[in-house]
Structure 1
Amino acid sequence: MIKKCPIHGVFRGTACTCGEAGSLILDDEQTERLGRFISGALRHFPDDLGLAMNQHGWVDLDVLCDAMRTRYKWANKEKLISIIESDEKKRYEIQGRKIRARYGHSVDVDLDYPDNTLPELYYGASREEVDILLEKGLKPIKQRYVHLSTSKEKALEVAKIHTDDPILILVDAAEAQKNGVRMISATENIVLSEDISPQYLKLIQG
């Protein structure tokens, strides 16, 4: 659920970090339903909802709210923004009257984030797929970019969503970028990349 603390603003859970119970904005079911709607609208099918997305993934916030209200009469802009502001993974961002997803797109976008500056990045994989990845490289599957993690811990956390026994691949980001592979920093934990050849990959846990 999402609630609002009079001191610290919106938060997820039963109580704010300060102990304040807060006032309810969205219950668990509403949070999940709106979260799925926002993800679909900003990552996968903006055209189906009448959203004009520019090349960098931005859509008009008010137009998104209008599309949302046609499906969920109980929803409003405050509830939508509460989902964005309380999201610990920072999946979305708002600038003025525009909103976009930071990562996870299946539609063709050209995100304009700064270039990655970390020399090494990480990718978590299952044991069943790791040999193929090391042989053929990393390529986006059903997404616009390859999603890399900035730490071993985050890579394992992501991989554990899909496998109980993840292993890590080290990505030589510095060398890859030096040779023309574009990598951009979407959040402090996620770097988005174009295709990465096997020569920049190394198994570091197995």
Structure 2
Amino acid sequence: MKTTTEITRISKFLSLVLRHQPSTIGLALDANGWAIIGELLAKSNAAGIAIDLELLQHIVATNSKKRFAFDESMTKIRASQGHSIAIDLELRPTAPPEILYHGTAAANVQSIMTNGISKQSRTHVHLSTDQEIARTVGARHGKPFVFEVRAGEMSAAGYQFFLSENMVWLTEYVPTEFLPISADL
């Protein structure tokens, strides 16, 4: 088995080709973001990224964020969310909990308080039911700051929410009126 460092490197590579740039290795994703596993393995190996089915299964099973999923037949794989390319994850609108959290860098707070939370280059804004997860996400970009999102009120006002396979809450946009500031954890 590969080292933890090698597995992390391959997981990041999979995020790149399954979420953002499948063209990096000439991979084709279908309309729902699925890639044929045999094609993914062949094109990855041709690009110098050594992956076999056993390693791919290990990465999917052990990824702490559950970023990837196999289809029922175990012949296809896709990223669970976080895409910057247009795909249909076949998610259905779901009523969110009353409160969700969004982690960001403290440097972004003023802009968000003026403009709301936008999806930027992604297909959705990512939200969590867990403050600590939101804090960890924010810390990836600098000093973390956690926004409390009044998701229940947003939903009642007509905004749609979706729950990804890996339990990340998704929405198109969070207007400022639904952003009371939570304590910086």
Residue aligning to 2:123: 144
Deviation at 1:116, TM superposition (A): 4.6
TM-score, length of structure 1 as denominator length: 0.79
The residue type equivalent to 1:197 in the other structure is P
The residue type equivalent to 1:49 in the other structure is I
Give the length in aligned residue pairs: 181
Structure 2 gaps, min length 5: none
| Residue of 21, 26, 37 corresponding to 1:50 | 26
Q: Confirm or deny: 8 A CA contact 1:150 1:188 kept in the other structure.
A: no
Residue aligning to 1:106: 84
- Over 3 Å counting, the alpha-carbon distance change for 1:167 and 1:36 in structure 2 is closer
Separation in 1 of the partners of 2:127 and 2:18?
20
CA root-mean-square deviation: 2.0
Q: Does 1:36 align with 2:12?
A: yes
Where 2:133 maps in the other structure, the secondary structure is: helix
Residue aligning to 2:174: 196
Separation in 2 of the partners of 1:30 and 1:116?
39
Q: Confirm or deny: 8 A CA contact 2:102 2:146 kept in the other structure.
A: yes
Separation in 1 of the partners of 2:55 and 2:138?
30
Residue aligning to 1:9: none
Higher strand share: 1
- Over 3 Å counting, the alpha-carbon distance change for 1:48 and 1:162 in structure 2 is closer
Deviation at 1:73, TM superposition (A): 6.8
- Runs of 4+ in structure 1 deviating by more than 4 angstroms, as ranges, are none
1:11-36 Cα deviation digits (max 9, x unpaired) = xxxxxxxxxxxxxx112343133222
Deviation at 1:102, TM superposition (A): 0.9
Q: Does 1:171 align with 2:149?
A: yes
Deviation at 1:169, TM superposition (A): 1.2
Where 1:202 maps in the other structure, the secondary structure is: coil
Q: Does 1:78 align with 2:54?
A: yes
Where 1:34 maps in the other structure, the secondary structure is: helix
Q: Confirm or deny: 8 A CA contact 2:96 2:155 kept in the other structure.
A: no
Q: Does 1:27 align with 2:3?
A: yes
1:53-82 Cα deviation digits (max 9, x unpaired) = 222211211111111121237431111221
Greater CA deviation, 46-55 or 135-144?
46-55
Structure 1 gaps, min length 5: 1-24
| Residue of 69, 90, 105 corresponding to 2:66 | 90
The residue type equivalent to 1:76 in the other structure is D
Where 2:122 maps in the other structure, the secondary structure is: coil
Higher helix share: 2
Report the structure number with the largest CA radius of gyration: 1
Higher relative contact order (CA 8 A, sep 6+): 2
